[in-house]
Amino acid sequence: MDEKAEEIPEDISKLRQKVLDALDGIEPAGKPRSNHEPTALMLSSTTRASKRLPPYYLVYFLLVDFLQFPRMGAWEKSAWTVPFRYKDRLYAIEHQKMGLRICAPNEDPDARISARPTEQQEADSDLIANKIRKAVDLARPYFDWRAKQEAKGNRLNVANHSKWLFDRYLYFKDIFIEQQAEAENKRAELRQGKDSSDLLSLQRVFNSGLLELTSQSDWIAQAAVDAFFSWTEHAFIHVAILRGRIENGHQVAELASANWKEKFREALDLDDSYFKKHYDKLLILRIQMRNFMAHGAFGKRGEAFSFHSGAGAVPVLLSESETNCYSLDGAPEFDEAEAIKNIDSFLDDFWSSKFSPVKLHLFSNVPSILTFVADSTYSKAMRSDKAMSELIEYIESRMDAATNMDW
């Protein structure tokens, strides 16, 4: 009996009989009934209905975890196999490298290779797939409970999309730099060909496309800034894991829903003036960007209205205050070029800091493994770039072996 099954709440445990009823005739295979059955199963073929099975993990947790069907362990290109009988006929569900399949055993006792499934086996597999799908739907409360239980512990891998998100920032940043250079070239050309007539000079500016290019450059820079903060929202969670600040799924979920300020504080040290300086600049930039975009882009300082007075036209700003959402005075408007400069300055200092090993992890394809927090694997890897690189290579080799089912 799986130890997890003993912990199942009574109301969910009562689902077992309903789920078994939905399987209607599908039951554990038990011991081989003939000397031929093990060979027949080894020479089995894949039925058409295999494509209609639910995801492999739901089938596994349904049959093995919840209903306690016995399973066979891993072997070449196969992660697990659950033999069962349907209407007293032997079948199996197997998770292979090529996917999940319903196995139809070769019934010929003299066979040495697999054969096509019989019409009876194809008809059975259609019914088996339907019954398993129905049972999976009924077992949803168990899957939800199981997920909640796992989230409390550290047997979790946290998906790492840092490289993809950072590449998005670099993409917009590179375009911004190119457009800035092009705009500067146009300005130089206009200065060289400046006319004595202000009207002709103005006409040359309009005809040059400089105004349009400048606007597009601003849009691209704003997209770059947004991409950067999107990356940090994700990357800071992984940095906190690597530093041992969070160690279970519940804490990861809490930090994921926290605001940007909390993520920064959890990942880096604000008592270090090295990062406090960048935190202050980036926080102002984030507030400026958020106010501009969240308030419908009325103005870069949040100005939405203006009224006439003896002083002239006066802008009214939308503020963050809960007691008064209007203001005449607010933060300065953000400058796109300065924003990119501040971001790159933070990144340069981050990558060259004592936390430099995190860069290797963030830009790899490996997830963050919470068990490595508890057993000090990450604390050791954080000692040097070499140690982190060796850990990443080890994880990648294990991931490749699992993907290829090379046990």
Confidence category of residue 300, pLDDT binned at 50, 70, 90: low
% of the chain exceeding 90 in pLDDT = 63
% of the chain exceeding 70 in pLDDT = 82
The residue among 148 and 125 whose pLDDT is bigger is 125
Query: What pLDDT, on a 0 to 100 scale, did the predictor assign at position 4?
Result: 45
Checking if the pLDDT of 338 tops 50, the result is yes
Question: Averaging pLDDT over each range in 8-22, 203-217, 309-323, 381-395, which range is the top one?
Answer: 381-395
Q: What string of DSSP letters covers 314-383?
A: EEEEEP--SS--EES--PPPP-HHHHHHHHHHHHHHHHTSTTTHHHHHHTSSPPEETHHHHTTHHHHHTT
Q: Which two tokens stand for residue 220?
A: 């691209």
Contact assessment for residue 279 and residue 264, using Cβ atoms and an 8 Å cutoff: yes
**Average per-residue pLDDT in the chain?**
86
Checking if the pLDDT of 141 tops 60, the result is yes
Q: What string of DSSP letters covers 232-282?
A: HHHHHHHHHHHTTS--SHHHHHHHHHS-HHHHHHHHS-TTSHHHHHHHHHH
Q: Which two tokens stand for residue 5?
A: 């099954």
Query: What pLDDT, on a 0 to 100 scale, did the predictor assign at position 322?
Result: 45
Average the pLDDT over 15-19 and give the result. 94
Distances 122 to 44, 109, 113 between C-alpha atoms, Å? 13, 20, 19
Checking if the pLDDT of 110 tops 60, the result is yes
Contact assessment for residue 60 and residue 10, using Cβ atoms and an 8 Å cutoff: no
Query: What pLDDT, on a 0 to 100 scale, did the predictor assign at position 164?
Result: 97
Instruction: Quickly tell me which residue has 């089995």 as its tokens.
Output: 44
Confidence category of residue 330, pLDDT binned at 50, 70, 90: low
Region of poorest pLDDT, from 138-152, 206-220, 387-401: 206-220
For 56-107, write each residue's pLDDT tens digit. Answer: 999 999 999 999 999 998 887 889 999 999 999 999 999 998 899 999 999 8
Query: What pLDDT, on a 0 to 100 scale, did the predictor assign at position 10?
Result: 87
Query: What pLDDT, on a 0 to 100 scale, did the predictor assign at position 6?
Result: 46
Region of poorest pLDDT, from 36-50, 160-174, 200-214, 329-343: 200-214
For 223-272, write each residue's pLDDT tens digit. Answer: 999 999 999 999 999 999 999 999 999 999 999 999 999 999 999 989 88
Average the pLDDT over 19-23 and give the result. 96
Q: Domain boundaries in the chain?
A: 3-151, 161-352
Average the pLDDT over 365-379 and give the result. 95
Query: What pLDDT, on a 0 to 100 scale, did the predictor assign at position 402?
Result: 84
Element (H, E) at 5: helix 3-6
For 265-298, write each residue's pLDDT tens digit. Answer: 999 989 888 899 999 999 988 877 765 555 554 4
